[in-house]
Chain A
Amino acid sequence: MSATAIIFYGLSAFILGTGILAVTSVKIFRAAIWLLFSLMGIAGLYFWLDANFIAAVQIAVYVGGIVVLIIFSIFLTQQSGSGMPRPPWIRKAASLLAVLLGFALTYLLIDQYGFKAGNGKIDMNVARIGTLMLGIDKKGYALPFEVVSILLLSAMIGCIVIAMKAKPDEV
């Protein structure tokens, strides 16, 4: 087994282990920290796949943005040391059964399909991504880029409107 394979299987075990802890941990703050480790592991997997730009975006947006936002909202809405109530065992068992059956079916389909790997080396440097992102020819992504920017603007305005405290005389 070569070093590449060892790195891949180690990263995969790390991602899945911390992911399981993130959805089963009783204390919500610990769950958020486990989620942070899992997202870091996924960034490592992107580095392993040679997608350096995606890995950097993953660290900047998920680890630096979303997890910090989640931790802030945990601090704003509940006592960080207290645990959540445990789910009843019947719900746990039913969810576990559904998840295991779904996983078995999906992986069976994937395993039977037999993907044909393309040949050639992928070129994912940032200059190419940027040129394609703003390109207006047939392969360019200028229209989705603009649509996503409008979506971000509307999400920003929507957040401010939703989270704004109503003035006492307007209630």
Chain B
Amino acid sequence: MKEIPLSHIIFVSTALFFIGMYGLFTRRNLIAMLMAIELILNSVNINFVAFNKYLYPDRLDGVFFTIFIITIAAAEAAVAIAIIINLYRSHQSIDVEDTTQMKY
């Protein structure tokens, strides 16, 4: 297990974080942007579990952070989808370019 250095796991989570950032930058559909945010949150969770396992094996703080982040991500996805459905009802579109009333 310890033969894989910690930096390789951090490489995976960093790459996943920036893949999510790329999606967040290029997509203009609200549901697709929400999917990119889920990827970013998951990369942070991998970080927490890997740091907990490799650096502080006598404690469980990283595992608890992961559990709370998963909980908050579920709440966030539910609220975001409620907002998206409400937006679709009033604008017939979930593209961010179409919903600019509050911009100016």
Contact A31–B22 (Cβ < 8 Å):
no
A122-B35 contact in complex given A62-B42, A62-B70, C-beta closer than 8 Å? no
C-alpha gap A117/B26 in the complex (Å): 38
B18, B29, B66: the one contacting A99 at CB < 8 Å is B18
Contact B57–A119 (Cβ < 8 Å):
yes
C-alpha gap A120/B72 in the complex (Å): 31
Residues of B near any A CB (own CB < 8 A): 1-4, 6-12, 14-16, 18-23, 25-29, 31-32, 34-36, 38-39, 42, 45-46, 49-50, 52-60, 63-64, 66-68, 70-79, 81-86, 88-89, 94
Contact B78–A156 (Cβ < 8 Å):
yes
A31-B35 contact in complex given A54-B66, A122-B57, A163-B86, C-beta closer than 8 Å? yes
A144-B82 contact in complex given A118-B55, A151-B75, C-beta closer than 8 Å? no
Chain B residue at smallest Cβ distance from A72: B81
How many A-B contacts at CB < 8 Å in the complex?
Answer: 218
Contact B57–A16 (Cβ < 8 Å):
no
- Would you mind naming 15 contact pairs between A and B with Cβ atoms under 8 Å apart? A12-B11, A20-B19, A28-B32, A66-B38, A70-B35, A73-B84, A77-B88, A107-B11, A110-B7, A117-B54, A148-B68, A151-B72, A152-B75, A158-B82, A162-B82
B19, B56, B83: the one contacting A19 at CB < 8 Å is B19
Contact A73–B14 (Cβ < 8 Å):
no
Contact B3–A4 (Cβ < 8 Å):
yes
**What residues of A have a CB within 8 angstroms of the CB of B28 in the complex?**
84-85, 87
Q: Count A-side interface residues using an 8 Å CB cutoff.
A: 82
**What residues of B have a CB within 8 angstroms of the CB of A106 in the complex?**
14, 18
Contact A45–B77 (Cβ < 8 Å):
no
Minimal beta-carbon separation of B85 from chain A (angstroms): 6
A132-B60 contact in complex given A23-B23, A107-B14, C-beta closer than 8 Å? yes
**What residues of A have a CB within 8 angstroms of the CB of B11 in the complex?**
12, 107, 110
